[in-house]
Structure 1
Amino acid sequence: MQPIFIPNLLQLPERTEEFELEEFIEGLETLTPVRGSLSVTHQSTYLDVRSQAETIATLVCHRCLAHYNHRLQVDTQELIWLEAPKPDHPSADENQGDELLETLPPNGHFDPQEWLYEQLSLALPFQQVCSDDCPGIAVETPQESADVDSRWASLASLKEQLSQRED
């Protein structure tokens, strides 16, 4: 998918560019290509971007550190406002409203692959756990003092001498 020059959308039927997805997305580590559809519609003052897509990603469990496969699915829509940058316009950091807005210049480009990458990244689970009953990492504890690391032998010997004196 190549970036779309936004004014070119106005020349298309229904001002819409549609993509059938069957490709790997750069930067997104997946086992299967991203499959689905994506459409970008020019609505005069904003772009209406919609996508239904899925893929399978290999993740690392945060509890046991094992690799497992996870199905990523998105069914999303976003409105991206077309607004020319104004020198006296406050930046997004200075915006007084609570609403977050994405804007693009009306004569700029929209990158559908980057947008899809962002949507799939947001769909990744925050807590990556291979299963609900994942036990975590198995920790082995020494059973006998014979299992103690030989570097600690002097300390173990001193501890034993001190405990004999107290008796």
Structure 2
Amino acid sequence: MERIYIPQLLKMPQQMDKFTFKENIKGFKTLTPIKGSLAVYHRGGFLEVELTADTILTLKCDRCLKTFNHRLEVDTSEIIWLSDQFEDPDNLPLEREISGDDLCESLPPDGYFEVQSWIYEQLSLALPLRQLCNNEDCEPPTIDESSTITDSRWAALTALKSLGE
């Protein structure tokens, strides 16, 4: 996916770029290519970005530790402010007062919108916090307490455990 030069959006019909895609994104492992559509609108002082995408990926169940396939669907939009007041990151003060207006995405009006990075971020945010496989036999793995310890580093813990009994 190509990045979008923000001033070029002003010259496009209806000041927008809309396209569909079907590809893999570097760093985001999926079983199927990510399919979707993206629309970027230039609204003067801000960009309005809309994304609809879906893919299938393999997750590991937090409960039973087995892998399972999960359909990830994203339908989101975001407003990104265009601001030319960017500071040099090497000369930032050690402390700075931050207002609520500082807590939003912004890009320089003569810069680029990184499409692939933005889609990667949206997919990452859509991942489920609790990854559970929903199988009927999903149970935590059992630990056989009668087995002997083969790693000597656990010997101190075993001694503490036997004191409590």
Which TM class, normalised by the smaller chain length? Answer: 0.7 to 0.9
**Matching residue of 1:64:** 64
- Check if 1:18 corresponds to 2:22: no
- Check if 1:94 corresponds to 2:97: yes
Pair 150,24 (structure 1): closer, same or farther in 2 beyond 3 Å: closer
Deviates more, 1:61-70 or 1:1-10: 61-70
- Once the two structures are TM-superposed, the CA of residue 85 in structure 1 deviates from its matched residue by 1.8
- Matched to 1:114, the amino acid is S
**Matching residue of 2:124:** 121
State the SS of the aligned residue for 2:21.
Answer: strand
Separation in 1, partners of 2:86, 2:2: 27
- Check if 1:139 corresponds to 2:152: no
- Once the two structures are TM-superposed, the CA of residue 141 in structure 1 deviates from its matched residue by 3.8
TM-score by length of 1: 0.78
- Matched to 1:109, the amino acid is Y
Separation in 2, partners of 1:84, 1:6: 13
**Matching residue of 1:160:** none
- Once the two structures are TM-superposed, the CA of residue 132 in structure 1 deviates from its matched residue by 6.5
1:70-109 equivalences under 5 Å are 70-87=70-87, 94-97=97-100, 100-109=103-112
- Matched to 2:61, the amino acid is C
Separation in 2, partners of 1:150, 1:121: 39
Pair 54,94 (structure 1): closer, same or farther in 2 beyond 3 Å: farther
Output one character per residue of 1:10-66: Cα deviation in whole Å (capped at 9) or x when no partner: 111011111202111111010001111001011110000001100011111112211
Pair 150,4 (structure 1): closer, same or farther in 2 beyond 3 Å: closer
Pair 33,148 (structure 1): closer, same or farther in 2 beyond 3 Å: closer
Separation in 1, partners of 2:77, 2:149: 58
- Once the two structures are TM-superposed, the CA of residue 138 in structure 1 deviates from its matched residue by 2.6
- Matched to 1:122, the amino acid is L
Pair 150,31 (structure 1): closer, same or farther in 2 beyond 3 Å: closer
Pair 113,86 (structure 1): closer, same or farther in 2 beyond 3 Å: closer
- Once the two structures are TM-superposed, the CA of residue 149 in structure 1 deviates from its matched residue by 6.2
The aligned length equals: 145
2:86–2:108 contact (8 Å) kept in structure 1: no
- Once the two structures are TM-superposed, the CA of residue 108 in structure 1 deviates from its matched residue by 0.4
Higher Rg of the two aligned structures: 1
2:7–2:110 contact (8 Å) kept in structure 1: yes
- Once the two structures are TM-superposed, the CA of residue 94 in structure 1 deviates from its matched residue by 3.4
Percent same amino acid at aligned positions?
46
Separation in 2, partners of 1:104, 1:25: 22
Separation in 1, partners of 2:62, 2:70: 14
